[in-house]
A and B are shown apart, each in its own frame.
Chain A
Amino acid sequence: MPSSTSNSELDVPRAAWGRTWVVALLLLAGALAAWEGWWRVRGYQPSIEADDDAWILQFDRVEPDSTIVVGTSRIQAALDPETWVASMHSEPPIMLQLPGGSPLPLLERLAEEGEFHGLVLFDFLPMFVFDVSGTSEKHLLALLDLYDVARTSPARRTEALFAVHVGGRLVFRNSQLMLTQLLRAALKQDLPNPGVSIRRPGRFGPVSFKRMDPFPKWDPVEGFGGKYLVAESTGRAANEAETVALLARLESCISKLQAKGARVIAMSIPSCGERARIEERRFPTAQYWDRFVATTSATTVKLDAVPGWPRFDCYDGSHIDSSDSPQFTRFLAGVLQGLLAKQP
């Protein structure tokens, strides 16, 4: 096709346009239906992009008395919204966590601006909270900047709604199945696995590790080799002075939130296997989590230390499988109800 197509000064081609377009659209509809069916038969399910717009849309939903979730992909994979509704008898929380992110800039925003007095569930992962390379806060800072511009953009909001209500119902709109991605994947002989990671409305993101191809990159005992390498090199652990400064930053915003009437519950979700050993070596519990617990006014809970913790297998070393997320959510709901009942 010639790429220079802007020659509108010339005559418009005469043709039986009505017939041309009707046949083309019918063929398109048929092809799309066949394409959708092809992927569904192979186990793929619709999925919603948890992209920047989705985050902005969620942040925009925050009301003064909302329950929000901040932290990392660990809580995103672990929470099941239906189980939450059944167990907590309330709407699902607003998911503002980011993969590999520290929520500090968001906590600071909530502490400094507005009248937020709701509940903050803080998935506290020292690897990201005490990373001083700047990487862990970078995405969130960019999103907050984007939010300041985008919240005034009706087009952006409408498009995000379309993405949920139209794109979210069609398998072929899954980003992994986009044509250009597929072509590249096919050339690299690395086609995606069906139904592994289904992004749901509200930025809930269960991951079905059990459906993953066990070979060649996948070791069910040790988890992702690739992920472990990432864990080895992610960020830079804070030194003593930086740790003290970060603890002070955390406490500053937590106490400001509490002064407005908000409740903050920081929880540690355990990792498994080699991943857990790497995290412990790079960000020792005693040096980071324990010191946070000792200095914070937030409620803290180490989930694997709670009696009755079901000891979930996290297949990639970090995340709970989607089949376990209802059980995790029920367990978490029990813990939260207990903690909230104790708090004034």
Chain B
Amino acid sequence: MVFSSLTFVAFFAIVLVLDRMLRSWTARKWHLLIASYLFYAAWNPPLLVLLWVSTCVDWFAAKGIYSARTPRARKAWLAATLATNFGLLGFFKYAGFFLDSLAAVLGACGVAYQPPALDVVLPPGISFYTFMTLSYTIDVYRREEKPWDSPLDLALLVSFFPHLVAGPILRAKSFHPQLVEPRRATSDQLGWGFALFTFGLFQKVVLADGFFAPVADEVFGKALRAGGVDAWMGTLAFSGQIFCDFAGYSTCAIGVALCLGFRLPENFDSPYGAIGFSDFWRRWHISLSSWLRDYLYIPLGGNRRGPVRTYVNLFLTMLIGGLWHGASWMFVIWGGLHGVYLAVERRLKEAFGEARWASTWPVTFGTTLLTYALVCIAWVFFRAPDMKTATHLTKVMLSGGKSSSLLGVVDYVVVGGLTIALLVAHGLTRQRSLAELWTRTPTWARIALLTVLLLTVTLSGGDNRAFIYFQF
């Protein structure tokens, strides 16, 4: 059930009405839990079992870790939950990939191996809820969080439908207070929640699906015929599509949760206005990058074990971050590219970071554009179906390539215009929030904006594409 479907609108209307009717906080939490399970089961009912397994394992593991008397017992409990969670993730998401890779390696060594055909359905959102439940158990292991008293609360944290299939990835310790303290959306939260939902739908339905996706699909679908301009336009279109798609989903999720009285963490903060790559990763998919920082980069040693180890840690974190997105070497290369970007940036900062010219506006502006251009080149590897396509596209992008023929003037106008608008918007909103801008807008303009956004969403919603991040 995607947010941009009529099914979700009907589902959410019923959930919201029932939520407003129930008085008891416990009853409302049960209601939200059941609604969340229905939301998930709407994709594929048997996959609910995985959600239950994940919840139960982490519930008992956290209790076990907390009550363990020896460090070895604590570690055993942690190992059990890591093995279960990564085992499920590994089987459902990566088994085929690893077997194929193994067959390729063996083949290169002259050993013929035919991996078994695995007919496995990828459960929606498994990467998201696995990381979330793990953060709970690891926090308990680190003694940063006590095991929760209520299994209902943990079950609701894991399955809460606004964030379930594509994030933001919640942290148990920051969300727990919202489950303990009774809450109900105020009229301001309801109004703003609906407004956020509308903004998110506009990004997804109109911008991502309506304008960017057709151009990106055309170029990446016929990539070997693309010239330099085509390749750039297709890549710019994909950069717009993936941002509007994923940020649109996150915005919808935050809006829906707010209508129910819950606050979800921000997931995007004008990423294409980033000055450098460390800034980009503070603004793009924030809940994942902060998860990787706290549960991978820092445990690996972060920047505390000398410069070489820091670069290795950065690179490893980004490689794994790439692999998190999907079982493909293309995602690994994408992550690796960002690892290289971050390492080079770190080296440059060490060399020139203190120089006065480094903070002048022409350098800042140039760095922003360079960051965006390099992020776009990395997107080629994220989107391309194979290495041949990706190398061809990057080659023609960097060399100019042959003349272009895939796209027409209309595509150039649409993608070029929207990309410039996106970059300007991100540059302008680096330091301001949407809420702040909204507060400064006169009432008539707010009404007009909401009307126009809803109208364009209603008149554009024929495609009904799934959100890109559902597959992760």
Contacts and interface: CB of A to CB of B under 8 A. Distances in A.
B130 to A, nearest CB: 21
Interface string B431-472: 011111111000100110111001110111111100000000
Contacts, number: 181
Size range of the interface on A?
A: 35 or more
A1 to B, nearest CB: 7
Interface string A2-29: 1111111111111111101101110110
Contact of A15 (B121, B188, B456): B188
A294 interface: no
Given A4-B429, A6-B247, A6-B250, A24 B199 contact: no
Given A2-B270, A7-B266, A12 B429 contact: no
B446 A20 contact: yes
A129 to B, nearest CB: 26
Contact of B460 (A6, A23, A179): A179
Contact of B425 (A3, A21, A27, A28): A3
Interface stretch (A151-159, A277-285, A325-333): A151-159
B201 to A, nearest CB: 11
A16 B435 contact: no
A283 to B, nearest CB: 27
A4 B454 contact: no
A5 B247 contact: yes
Interface stretch (B150-158, B324-332, B392-400, B406-414): B406-414
Chain A interface SS verdict (over half): helix
A184 interface: yes
Interface string B245-276: 00100110010011000011111111110000
A23 B445 CA distance: 12
A20 B191 contact: yes
Interface in A143-169: 149, 152-155, 158-159, 162-163, 166-167
A3 B188 contact: no
A76 B206 CA distance: 31
Given A154-B42, A159-B7, A184-B414, A5 B459 contact: no
B175 to A, nearest CB: 12
A184 B187 CA distance: 39
Query: Which of B247, B408, B459: most chain A Cβ within 10 A?
Result: B459
Interface of B: 1-2, 5-7, 10, 41-46, 121, 168, 186-192, 194, 196, 199-200, 202-203, 206, 210-211, 243-244, 247, 250-251, 254, 257-258, 263-272, 283, 408, 410, 413-414, 422, 425-426, 428-429, 432-439, 443, 446-447, 449-451, 454-456, 458-464
Given A17-B188, A158-B42, 18 more contacts: A3-B244, A4-B269, A4-B283, A5-B199, A5-B247, A7-B269, A10-B435, A11-B435, A12-B435, A18-B191, A28-B458, A155-B43, A159-B5, A175-B462, A178-B210, A179-B460, A184-B414, A187-B413
13 contacts: A3-B425, A4-B434, A6-B247, A9-B266, A12-B186, A12-B189, A20-B450, A21-B450, A28-B455, A154-B41, A174-B462, A178-B460, A180-B211
